[in-house]
């Protein structure tokens, strides 16, 4: 699957905003006496963070593995 780097940049920024807004809402909900809603907002924010990380990893170019030669034998 090919991802266009320019189109996913805005999505990644939106997921960062979702994360911080969800954390703020979780704090407010918990302070106002509704820990259940706070927990749900925490789950929503963490899901946004996981999705952002997955998209960033998917965008990263593959790293070629360079075969390392074994060290030369030591002459004693």
pLDDT tens for residues 3-55? 565 677 788 888 899 999 999 999 999 999 999 999 999 999 999 999 999 98
Determine the pLDDT at residue 58.
Answer: 83
Cα three-residue angle 30-34-35, rounded to 5 degrees? 60
Predicted TM-score (pTM) above 0.85: no
Is the predicted pLDDT of residue 71 greater than 70, yes or no? yes
């Amino acid at each position: 699957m090919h991802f266009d780097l320019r189109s996913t940049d805005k999505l990644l920024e939106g997921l960062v905003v979702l994360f911080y807004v969800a954390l703020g809402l979780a704090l407010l909900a918990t302070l106002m006496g509704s820990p259940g809603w706070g927990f749900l907002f925490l789950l929503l924010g963490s899901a946004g963070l996981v999705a952002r990380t997955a998209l960033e990893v998917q965008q990263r170019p593959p790293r070629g593995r360079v075969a390392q030669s074994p060290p030369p034998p030591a002459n004693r």
